[in-house]
Structure 1
């Protein structure tokens, strides 16, 4: 089976081809960072319009990279949700139209499941079962993974996701969009001893996250300490250390609770090197191994959609005619791959 994956959930258009026999054949990505940087954040209407212009040319580029024709495709997968409704509709419309024209199966994929499975594209993929930390601009959650489609959410953010907290703090510090990578770079110049921000919800049992109080602490500190260059760097360092240590504490608890020996860290914030280093140390101390996608596949991409689509299409799943996109789609609704797991109408 050769599957075309289409990712259009937010501000990146990702296309990829995955083959059951040969693995990842090609992947193409267009980022809308320059477009949205003018506004300091994602503008949904502009995102949708850009996806419309990019999807088919990137699909053709993938086919040319792999030396294939459209007729060689035996399945198409697209991001059904969660995400921006308009952006999701672009990918869904193109995917379903192509599938109809070529008379091949098509399937909508859960965006966070695809992130969770992204490390499977690496040469040494993690073995099931494992514990997964999914950290992105829209989601922060700890998931116990028994197998594909068999997920138990152990904890999640009760307010802002970690990536959202990074972006909002970066904006407060006057850093350009996208803020997360900019804040990480600035934090390298900061004094780790100057500001110690709270580690939210680590003084109570449980595996949920909260970052709103941390953001408030940052706002108050900036108001009192000012925004000279060194203070900005020190605040960035203090904020990043607080987020990283909070996640380390929760991961340690989750590893002890589940007994997992494999940890997967996926999503855009998973590219943060300070987080990677700290969680590697935590995993090693608990006798676990940690796996990440390559940096290019931490952020949104078509390769993870193509792989997740292959896993489910090969098991016999495919969309029904009445399937719609799911801007909000709890992972708890997912089932193990198979025809009975075909998604219900949104």
Structure 2
């Protein structure tokens, strides 16, 4: 089995590369088309337009995804290629708030996301040496999670998508975590047993 290198982890509780990885896997590995997404704002990669300049090409290795994760207490973003290469991942932890409040306080977490989201996304893009105009799509966690926190990431994703005419793909982050083990291996017929809590 030929597997990709283990992604480097810099701490924190969010896995921003999983969000981008999850949507890529759904598109690249699923035997059937993805189920329709509930909101018309979010589209499947199968419906991505082939605009002039062809950001969305049939060669999935050319896909360049920005993943945004704000489902709970960490603000996170990553840039991932269609071939599985993680170009960057940035996490802003809310550990100080967790200590101060004895756990996650949704309103405080939302405010921390609002303060961090622009910086985290820009740093992820900078670390990957790309700009928004290079992206094929934006992936964002749409659940499960705290609604106050989720909307910060969704708002940022919509803002980028509108400004750069990109599709948005809503990702269930537990699905992304379940699929990431396949993301690292070229052999897609491996058996996987897992439990998500």
State the TM-score bracket (shorter-chain normalisation): 0.5 to 0.7
Matched ranges for 1:41-120 at <5 A = 41-120=103-182
Partner of 1:12: 74
Whether the 8 Å CA contact 2:90–2:123 is kept in 1: the answer is: yes
Quote how far apart the aligned CAs of 1:16 are.
0.1
Partner of 1:2: 64
Quote how far apart the aligned CAs of 1:35 are.
1.2
Cα deviation code 1:100-138 (max 9, x no counterpart): 11001101100110111233454677744422122xxxx
RMSD: 1.8
Q: Secondary structure at the match of 1:116?
A: helix
Paired residues, number: 135
Report the Cα distance in structure 1 between the residues aligned to 2:84 and 2:178, rounded to whole angstroms: 21
Partner of 1:341: none
Structure of higher CA gyration radius: 1
Q: TM-score, normalised by structure 2?
A: 0.64
Partner of 2:89: 27
Report the Cα distance in structure 2 between the residues aligned to 1:22 and 1:122, rounded to whole angstroms: 7
Greater relative contact order, per chain length (Cα 8 Å cut-off, separation 6+): 2
Q: Which has the higher helix share?
A: 1
Partner of 2:16: none
Q: Secondary structure at the match of 2:139?
A: strand
Report the Cα distance in structure 2 between the residues aligned to 1:125 and 1:78, rounded to whole angstroms: 27
Q: CA 1:39 to 1:67, structure 2 compared with 1: closer, same or farther past 3 Å?
A: same
The answer for unaligned runs of 5 or more in structure 2 is 1-62
Report the Cα distance in structure 2 between the residues aligned to 1:120 and 1:54, rounded to whole angstroms: 31
The answer for unaligned runs of 5 or more in structure 1 is 135-139, 141-346
Q: Secondary structure at the match of 2:166?
A: coil
